[in-house]
Structure 1
Amino acid sequence: MALIIGIVVLLLIASVAGTYFWVDGKLHKTVTLPAFTGTSAGTNWLIAGSDQRTGISRAERAKLHLGSTGADASDSLMLLHMGGPKPVLVSIPRDSYVPIPGHGYNKINAALAFGGPKLLVQTVESVTGLRIDHYMSIGFVGLAGVVNSVGGVRICVTTAIPPDSYSGFKGMKAGCHNLSGSQAIAFVRDRHSFATSDLQRIEDQRAFLKALLSKATSPGVYLNPFTALPFASTAAGSIAVDKGSSLYDLIQAAMALKNPETGTVPIANAALPTSAGEAVQWDRAKALALFAALKDNKPVPKGLLTGTKVGS
């Protein structure tokens, strides 16, 4: 009996280990991070959503209501800090007007188009003073596949959201809704339904990311191999990470994203006229106070992060 139990335990361990390395091997570890000479406590992830259309078929673009071309820019940009009293997830508006090394001042989402993930990371490090330890990005089709692999994601709104023809978003009544992959893409791309445009969209993106990770790490998913394995395989195969990231690092980030303190970089002017068009100007004093707290693994001072309100 002891021998049989021992063999079963060994087989289980081998199965778990084999699955771990199988999923880890699917990660696209293609991003080289720039050198960082400063000091920064904790662990920081830069999470980017790319609007790149390369490799997306005409049928997929039509289904997801994507145009034929994109700017290869970072339409969504979030900073996840771990190591302090509580994980902190901060949205960086795509139109933030910042200095991009070697390119002068521009909207921050242009950094990805100018110099790929390495320049984007370098830009974020230079304006925040934080070391970026890990990088993760995902595109439209990849995100839709991840959502479908867990059977959809539940989003709840307190007021109805009107439809948006640009993103293909069909509108949403007040209450809770289970979004499929294509519906989720439309939801996180919708900005024309709101008076604050992209500033509300990034709040919805934070809420959606939290809902997705809560679903993916729920017992109904990870205890069901017929759901857990397809999800793990689809997720790992859909994202690009830095060369130093492992599956264990991603699992830690996923757990942190389930219930972080959230908000957007403090803003002084959401409609700043610039040579690059209307841009977002940070409240420099408050932004520096926010990033200084993260840099030292200290609690975020009150009033710097306003939380997340879905579809308001």
Structure 2
Amino acid sequence: MSRRKKIVITLILILVLLPAALMGFLYYKINTIKTDNQVEGITNILLLGTDGRKNESAYRSDCMMIVTIDNTHNSIKLTSLARDTYVDIPGVGMGKLNASYFWGKDQLLFKTIKNEFGIDIEKFIQVDFEGLMDVITALGGVDVEISKKEMEAVNKSVPSTYESYDNPDKGEMKLIPGDGVQTLTGYQAISYCRIRDIDSAIYRDARQRKVIMAIASKFKSMPVSSYDDLIKTLSPCVTTNIGTIELLNMAKNSYEILQKGDSIKQGEFPIIDEVHSKGGKYKKAGWVWRYDTNSVVVLKQFIFDDVDIKNNKYLNETDKIKLNG
């Protein structure tokens, strides 16, 4: 396989991790694009998963992840931001992080993240759950390891998810037959991403990351000959403000990082340990995560300095904890 085609495939993989499939145009125009400029340092992209219904003009972001392409430390990171994090939304007041998107879409969410966590993000890729189901359906399903409790919870919601899924290729409705590693259809995978009544939203964030990683793994295992048709199918599923040339630059840098064999690092914020955060109903915000404002250093050091969250020295200190709100 040519190096150029490998770069294109790597870009597709990175965007699927986000997840995205915007590369139909890029794939066919790549030979006309100059690729001299490299993306240097650290690039943060906000992945937004939304669950808006038809005819809704305002809705909350159900999934928020920061994807970091880190050329300084040769790593790629995927960091979930808990949707119930208690934050100060500029111009709105205190509330849940995912409400930022409801009040001002991606721009207000950018401002909230910058003000709260000190991370300046300008790039985003957005996919709704309907689009994500289309991605997984086009891939022929994804392999995810699930527990018996998760399997039972998913099967309760599969019928309604299947019924609302408008895709002629969705096939007959099927329940998940058991626990362990299972090949999930599009509607099964989304049902899996949505469940949280068996544990908490933090576990749901982890399940969403598992599905994203499974999508990337499936994409990587597919023959190159299938990419043309697959990209055409996936390209309508996402919205982004990233330009074509910039996407190509990200691909080249990501390609070099992944060539080194490093796995994608995963993180979550707030730090859910009942020490640096506290979950519960608070004032008029409903159920939220109040977090230790000083623990933001853990998030920033993970993204910018490549310090593993679990090994951050700050977490051994308990005399500086200051919950927000």
User: Does residue 300 in structure 1 map to residue 308 in structure 2?
Assistant: yes
User: Does residue 52 in structure 1 map to residue 52 in structure 2?
Assistant: yes
Instruction: Flag the 1:41–1:275 CA change in 2: closer, same or farther, 3 A.
Output: farther
2:109 maps to a residue whose letter is L
Distance 2:199 2:46 in 1: 27
2:214 maps to a residue whose letter is A
Instruction: Flag the 1:237–1:132 CA change in 2: closer, same or farther, 3 A.
Output: same
| Residue in 2 that maps onto 1:202 | 205
Q: Aligned with 1:248: secondary structure?
A: helix
| Residue in 2 that maps onto 1:23 | 25
Consecutive aligned runs of 4 or more in structure 1 exceeding 6 Å deviation: 252-256
| Residue in 1 that maps onto 2:69 | 82
- Answer whether contact 1:101 1:122 (CA < 8 A) is retained: yes
Which of the residues 278, 297, 300 maps onto 1:269?
278
User: Does residue 239 in structure 1 map to residue 238 in structure 2?
Assistant: yes
- Answer whether contact 1:98 1:108 (CA < 8 A) is retained: yes
- Answer whether contact 2:176 2:188 (CA < 8 A) is retained: no
Residues 30-84 of structure 1 deviation map (CA, whole Å, 9 limit, x = unaligned): xxxxxxxxxx9511011111111126xxxxxxxxxxxxx7961101111112213
User: Does residue 284 in structure 1 map to residue 293 in structure 2?
Assistant: yes
| Residue in 1 that maps onto 2:81 | 92
Structure 2 gaps, min length 5: 9-21, 29-39, 162-174, 316-325
Structure 1 gaps, min length 5: 1-8, 27-39, 56-68, 307-312
Q: CA offset at residue 135 of structure 1?
A: 0.4
Distance 2:196 2:177 in 1: 14
1:163 maps to a residue whose letter is A
Distance 1:91 1:171 in 2: 26
Distance 1:303 1:172 in 2: 38
Deviates more, 1:239-248 or 1:113-122: 239-248
Distance 2:45 2:113 in 1: 11
User: Does residue 127 in structure 1 map to residue 116 in structure 2?
Assistant: yes
User: Does residue 187 in structure 1 map to residue 192 in structure 2?
Assistant: yes
| Residue in 2 that maps onto 1:176 | 181
Distance 1:77 1:304 in 2: 23
Residues 192-221 of structure 1 deviation map (CA, whole Å, 9 limit, x = unaligned): 2x233x111111001111111121122xx2
- Answer whether contact 1:98 1:127 (CA < 8 A) is retained: yes
- Answer whether contact 2:140 2:185 (CA < 8 A) is retained: yes
- Answer whether contact 1:51 1:71 (CA < 8 A) is retained: no
| Residue in 1 that maps onto 2:318 | none
What is the RMSD computed on CA atoms of the aligned residues?
A: 3.4
Distance 1:104 1:25 in 2: 43
Identity over the aligned pairs, expressed in percent? 24
Instruction: Flag the 1:22–1:90 CA change in 2: closer, same or farther, 3 A.
Output: closer
Instruction: Flag the 1:172–1:191 CA change in 2: closer, same or farther, 3 A.
Output: farther
Task: Give TM-score scaled by structure 2 length.
Answer: 0.68
Instruction: Flag the 1:180–1:250 CA change in 2: closer, same or farther, 3 A.
Output: farther
Instruction: Flag the 1:70–1:210 CA change in 2: closer, same or farther, 3 A.
Output: farther
Deviates more, 1:46-55 or 1:242-251: 242-251
- Answer whether contact 1:160 1:173 (CA < 8 A) is retained: no
2:203 maps to a residue whose letter is Q
Distance 1:172 1:286 in 2: 42
Instruction: Flag the 1:183–1:112 CA change in 2: closer, same or farther, 3 A.
Output: same
Instruction: Flag the 1:119–1:214 CA change in 2: closer, same or farther, 3 A.
Output: same
2:299 maps to a residue whose letter is L
| Residue in 2 that maps onto 1:59 | none
Please state which structure has a larger fraction of its residues in helix.
Answer: 2
Residues 221-260 of structure 1 deviation map (CA, whole Å, 9 limit, x = unaligned): 2x3433x22332233221111144654267567987x932
Instruction: Flag the 1:235–1:125 CA change in 2: closer, same or farther, 3 A.
Output: farther
| Residue in 1 that maps onto 2:165 | none
Instruction: Flag the 1:235–1:131 CA change in 2: closer, same or farther, 3 A.
Output: farther
1:74 maps to a residue whose letter is S
Instruction: Flag the 1:85–1:172 CA change in 2: closer, same or farther, 3 A.
Output: farther
Task: Give TM-score scaled by structure 1 length.
Answer: 0.71
Q: Aligned with 1:163: secondary structure?
A: helix
Number of aligned pairs?
A: 257
